[in-house]
Structure 1
């Protein structure tokens, strides 16, 4: 059964910030977290990492691998290997939380298509979503 992760995108004020950050890094995009997801098999069965940016679920990236490792301080960590494509989703409010959360497929916001305003400026898209117009 496919399952997704929901994570705060700390330090990014927009999807463009996330894209810029990942573009500056060489190689495959990864996100390092402290805990290893217990349901890794379900996450790797077509799952994505959904990013919460400025209080809204705003984008997602496909999960390609989950790699537990030990850092230089001897602390267990987990590397989430992400697809390069950042897919915009229909913005949906979500309050802050620590760590990550599992997200069932039926709870995921739909991807934006060009007809849904994927090309619209992010600030306008967020405002329209907050007003219930998107």
Structure 2
């Protein structure tokens, strides 16, 4: 069974803001000739690597609420310019919206069991452009 990771998305105000950041980073990599992959670097390397790589996702907490996830493609050990060991989390650049789930602030990342992970939101045809507030109301009504 997959084991997920949950992390605060510091600096992003919305899922759209995170998507814009991802798009910019991918364009920079493309322009510089580096491999086209999204990488998020974090200090600690997961010890439960096999479980995370068995279908795990990184769930992003944006403004105190889990709102989106990305599939984890790989975990790579790297050494920073300061000589400190770190972990490159290689992510699928596709964002999958999830049911909103409030979370208190925490440092670093945490494991997230499958049973505790918010469900993916169903995508109704034409629902992609719905404003966040309206999407939340529709979710609470069980319409998406």
TM-score of the aligned structures, taking structure 2 as reference length: 0.84
Q: Distance in 1 between matches of 2:127 and 2:113?
A: 23
1:1-134 equivalences in 2 (<5 Å): 1-25=1-25, 26=29, 27-115=36-124, 119=128, 120-126=130-136, 132-133=140-141
Once the two structures are superposed, residues 49-86 of structure 1 have per-residue CA deviations (whole angstroms, 9 ceiling, x without a partner) of: 00000010000000000001111110111000000110
User: Over aligned residues, Cα RMSD in angstroms?
Assistant: 1.9
Structure 1: runs of 5 or more not aligned: none
State the structure with more CA Rg.
2
**C-alpha displacement at 1:33, in angstroms?**
0.2
Once the two structures are superposed, residues 73-107 of structure 1 have per-residue CA deviations (whole angstroms, 9 ceiling, x without a partner) of: 10111000000110000111111110111111111
Q: Distance in 2 between matches of 1:97 and 1:88?
A: 21
Aligned residues: 132
Q: Distance in 2 between matches of 1:118 and 1:52?
A: 22
Q: Secondary structure of the equivalent of 2:82?
A: coil
> Which runs of structure 1 show a deviation greater than 6 angstroms over 4 or more consecutive aligned residues?
none
Once the two structures are superposed, residues 100-119 of structure 1 have per-residue CA deviations (whole angstroms, 9 ceiling, x without a partner) of: 1111111111111124x953
Structure 2: runs of 5 or more not aligned: 30-35
